[in-house]
Amino acid sequence: MKICITARGKTLDSAFECHFARAPFFIFHDSSTGKTEAVRNGFVISDTRIGQNAVRLLKTNGLDAVITGEIGENARALLKGSEISLHLFNGPGTVRQAIDAILRSRAEEVPGGAGYPH
């Protein structure tokens, strides 16, 4: 499974960021290979379409799931339309802890891609 985790830094030991579109980094983690890649969220400084642009970035990277804490309605709907599952992690914690939570089914999967509003 290829997972995106919202993060404050570039590593698995970075702090988890609860805000989807405003996360400074997206950590892409492939649970089958263990490969991890940090991608800076360049949309965080934008004033418009932040969530939409972030979802587009995830979609082009072939992700299966997103772990975050809060997500806006537009981004949530776009994830659902892209068939990217949404999991809510109630940090605080690290990126590694968020990954562990989803792999051990301790992060709440939101049916139909719904999530908590801002």
What's the topology of domain 2-113? Nucleotidyltransferase; domain 5 (3.30.420)
Looking at residue 15, its pLDDT comes to 97
Per-domain residue ranges for the chain?
2-113
Looking at residue 108, its pLDDT comes to 57
Looking at residue 49, its pLDDT comes to 75
Burial class from Cβ neighbours inside 10 Å (0-12, 13-18, 19+) for residue 47 reads exposed
Q: Per-residue confidence of the chain (118 residues) as pLDDT tens digits?
A: 899 999 999 999 999 999 998 999 999 999 899 999 999 998 777 777 778 888 888 888 889 999 999 998 888 999 988 889 999 888 789 999 999 887 887 555 666 544 444 3
In order, the DSSP letters of 83-107 are T-EEEE---SSBHHHHHHHHHTT-S
Looking at residue 104, its pLDDT comes to 80
pTM for the model: 0.84
